[in-house]
Structure 1
Amino acid sequence: MTRHGNAAIYRMVMDKHVCPWGLRAVDLLKRHGYAVEDHHLTSRDATDAFKRQHDVRTTPQIFIDGRRIGGHDDLRRHLGLSVRDPKATTYRPVIALFAMALAMSAAIGWTAEGMIAPVMLVERFIAASMCLLALQKLRDVDSFATMFLGYDLLAARWVRYGWIYPWAEGVAGVLMLAGALTWIAAPVALVIGGIGAVSVFKAVYLDRRELKCACVGGDSNVPLGFVSLTENVMMAAMAVWMLVR
């Protein structure tokens, strides 16, 4: 890439800490053709002295052709790149999760049967999705349960249900994936999926509430609505299919 000019970066590089944002900023500068002078702040005293000298609160700090640009996010703006808003709503975690569930289901089918049968693929996809969604919730059960209380009808009346739900979803998903103990997996999936679907439909489409979805964990920025409704309808539909079959 054509060289744009000279850049200097001051970043923390200590024995027990290397600033990741500094590394990302160096990479950005080099990929955009800048000759980089990489200055390491190797101690807390050196870092604090640099901040006082330049009247800044954070590092790294980037200078281009002698003009201070600022930190990593400021550099991205300077280069005309987008800056991620950590509070912005996004469907990215759900898309990634469902894509991985589909890929896993196809891989299991290919290994087990030497082919990808459509019906088995759908069954495994739903079961794998339940397992992965449960795993996301179990990363921080307290956060999930707290967010879940905001819209689930059963959890609002029986608070402990918020802590039970991810375990029930995970157990049902594993049993469905194994094709075992249908008499346990199907009723569990039908109950939690049915209650969940009604709860989401009421909160979003009847009460018109704007909430975040707890479906991929309590720290998600996924809006409550179609995704969570789909999750619960899939569970309930899979349960009915297993009972009928």
Structure 2
Amino acid sequence: MKKKATIYRMVAPDHLCPWGIKALDLLKRNGYQVDDRHLESMEANKAYKEENGYDETPQIFIEGENLGGYDELREHLGKKPDPEEGETYQPVIAIFAVTFLMSLTATWAMLGALNLIRVLELFIAFSMCALGIQKLQDLKGYATGFVQYDLVAQRYVPYAYVYAFIEAGGGILMIAGILTWVVAPIVLIASVIGAVSIFKAVYLEKRDLKCACVGGDSSVPLGFISLTENLMMIAMAVWMMVKASTLA
């Protein structure tokens, strides 16, 4: 027979408790027969907690015995606690991994083969576009982080907003090789300033900052990954100018 569990969780028209959903799923995946009881309003949720002396919902009962909330359920089932929010490189790793795969498939689709130079060109250009999108979706939040370390933005704040467009627009135009002698020098100057700014803030001043590379409210620490982004842009800008001069 299946083990029995009861869960009290908030399921209201204006709020669906995410921890309740995760707890319910965890119980089902671990073979429990679940009696899922809904608290259908903020008032009902508050009253349930006050009547029973609980600080939070969901509340989970295993075979009639109160276990506690979602964290206690994970502990009871021998699961590791959910990772706490903190510094992580995951957003940047995700962007670079996806854009690299995009560059591989795009090169294959265009050429019918994998040309290493074209893969690298598209990888950097796609990465610039993706990182630019991250900045553009919350310009104010991104600018607040960017001005903390960028040497030009500290003296002229509007440059922080301009940089996001330089990165996204540069990537777009570099994909097709359009306006190279306009775009590449601008990207080169911006990325050199960025690299110098990061090197100064992190390696000389030893400041503990968050990177604005993935936009506002970033949890990515400013450091080697951030510097690599700028070095990639420098390499791309130089290569596009060399390539353009060779073809001229």
**TM-score, normalisation: structure 1:** 0.93
Deviation at 1:12, TM superposition (A): 1.6
SS in 2 for 1:157: coil
Q: Which residue identity is paired with 1:190?
A: L
Q: Which residue of 2 aligns with 1:240?
A: 238
2:81 alignment counterpart: 82
Q: Which residue of 2 aligns with 1:46?
A: 44
Q: For 1:194 and 1:112, how far apart are their aligned partners in 2?
A: 32
Deviation at 1:16, TM superposition (A): 4.1
Q: Identity across aligned pairs (percent)?
A: 53
**What is the distance in 2 between the residues matched to 1:137 and 1:153?**
18
Secondary structure of 2:16's counterpart equals: coil
The equivalences for 1:135-154 within 5 A come to: 135-154=133-152
Change (3 A) 1:137 1:78: farther
How far apart, in 2, do the equivalents of 1:191 and 1:67 lie?
Answer: 65
- Cα distance in 1 for residues equivalent to 2:161 and 2:53: 47
How much does 1:147 deviate?
0.6
2:71 to 70, 73, 81: 73
In structure 2, C-alpha distance between the alignment counterparts of 1:149 and 1:103, rounded to whole Å = 32
The CA distance in 1 between the partners of 2:225 and 2:234, in whole Å, is: 14
Amino acid aligned to 1:45? E
CA RMSD after TM alignment:
1.6
Report how far residue 154 of structure 1 moved.
0.7
Judged with a 3 Å threshold, the aligned counterparts in structure 2 of structure 1 residues 56 and 218 are, in CA distance, closer, same or farther, namely same
Q: Residue 96 of structure 1 aligns with which residue?
A: 94
Greater Cα offset, 121-130 or 137-146: 137-146
Counterpart code for 2:16: V
Give the whole-Å Cα distance in 1 for the aligned partners of 2:197 and 2:148: 10
Partner of 1:131: 129
Runs of 4+ in 1 over 4 A off after TM superposition: none
Deviations 1:180-216 (A, max 9, x none): 1102220121011100000011111111111111111
Q: Deviations 1:118-167 (Å, cap 9, x if unpaired)?
A: 00000000000000001111121111100111111111111111111111
- Structure 2 match to 1:111: 109
Consecutive unaligned residues of structure 1, counting only runs of 5 or more, are: none
Aligned partners of 1:77 and 1:83 also within 8 Å: no
The number of equivalent residue pairs is 242
